[in-house]
Copies of this chain bind each other. A is one copy, B any other.
Amino acid sequence: MDKFRVAVVGALGAVGTEMTKTLENRKFPISEFIPMDIESMAGKKVTFRGKEATVRAAKAGAFRDVDIAIFSAGSEASLKLAPIAVSEGAIVIDNSAAWRMEPGIPLVIPEVNPDALDGHKGIIANPNCSTIQMLVAAKPIHDKYKIKRIVVATYQAVSGTGAPAIAELKSQAKQYTEGKPIEVNVYPRQIFFNLIPHIDDFTENGYTKEEMKMVNETHKILDPAIAVSPTAVRVGVIRGHSESVNIETEKPFEVADIVKLLKKAPGITVMDDPSKKIYPTPLDCDGKYDTFVGRIRRDPTVPNGLNIWVVSDNLLKGAALNAVQIAETLVEKGLKSRKM
């Protein structure tokens, strides 16, 4: 079997760390693992499959021996470096928002639109975390019953912001329990024992960029005819995004059939037995690959209405895992390593 030289760009970040672990755990066929990060981090070590790999500075020239470069280093780095990496012969799977809405760049959730990968030109975008789990759950419903409209409210973990936000939530918890003043740096407000209805910058129309990602990425990935009305909220949870998703379909359905569809869909675990208090919470999904769906019930306020509750690990299916699954799908579709 062909093996690949795989770089993780932003290897020392919260998502980069998960990418390395996910590549290990899923036994991706790797001949050489190349961690990359900003110049000042070059020389540090990252352990991969029990061996130390040296962090390489991510810059022009660094990608000449790379088959697949998985980027999680922010939009600015991706905008600058992804085209360079492609020009040096690598395929880029980019976790930032930089390329997602660019025409001609595939935006891919392997369970939803794997064939968007065909004919890619080197850069493939990984969707936003909150979009991925919503669409994994929406896809089987849309295929059979055609979704017209989604009203979604999110409950998003701080790890989506990165390692400094995790540190801030934890240190605010410590400050609180020790009776010390609570320091606020990463978020506009204290996040511990609080929540903030504001993720990413606000846009002209009153929605945040995070909310508009859920609208625009749904249109690009699943169907431009699906109307999405989002509210994105940061909560004091470390890991695991939750979403209250209200769906209206064109065709009538039985709730039992929705449950059946979700149960057999790839990447979904149905956790739904209220009588036994079975429904997904963020802690139930921490470290898991699947998207978890519970609280599946009819919304009787519209002709074909449905409410579901969707939880997934935002660092895995929402980021690292989806990126690695894109690489796996490329291999399944015939990607070969460059012979050098």
Contact = CB atoms under 8 A, between A and B. Distances in A.
A195 B188 CA distance: 22
B237 A195 contact: yes
A238 to B, nearest CB: 5
B301 A149 contact: yes
Contacts of A296: 206
Interface of A, helix, strand, loop or mixed by DSSP: mixed
Copies in the complex: 2
A177 B151 CA distance: 36
A19 interface: no
A78 interface: no
Given A151-B246, A244-B153, A297-B205, A198 B279 contact: yes
Interface stretch (A50-58, A97-105, A135-143, A227-235): A227-235
Interface string A272-286: 001101011111100
Interface in A7-44: none
A307 B176 contact: no
A236 interface: yes
A196 interface: yes
Nearest to A158: B193
A194 interface: yes
A178 B274 CA distance: 33
Given A233-B244, A236-B237, A242-B197, A207 B297 contact: yes
Nearest to A150: B301
Interface of A: 149, 151, 153, 155, 169-170, 173-174, 176-178, 188-190, 193-198, 202, 205-208, 227-229, 231, 233, 235-238, 242, 244, 246, 255, 274-275, 277, 279-284, 294-302, 305, 307, 309
A309 B231 contact: yes
A295 B206 contact: yes
A155 B301 contact: no
Given A207-B297, A229-B307, 9 more contacts: A151-B151, A153-B153, A153-B244, A169-B193, A173-B173, A173-B193, A195-B242, A197-B242, A198-B279
A237 B193 contact: yes
A193 B155 contact: no
A196 B281 CA distance: 6
A155 B299 contact: no
B283 A193 contact: yes
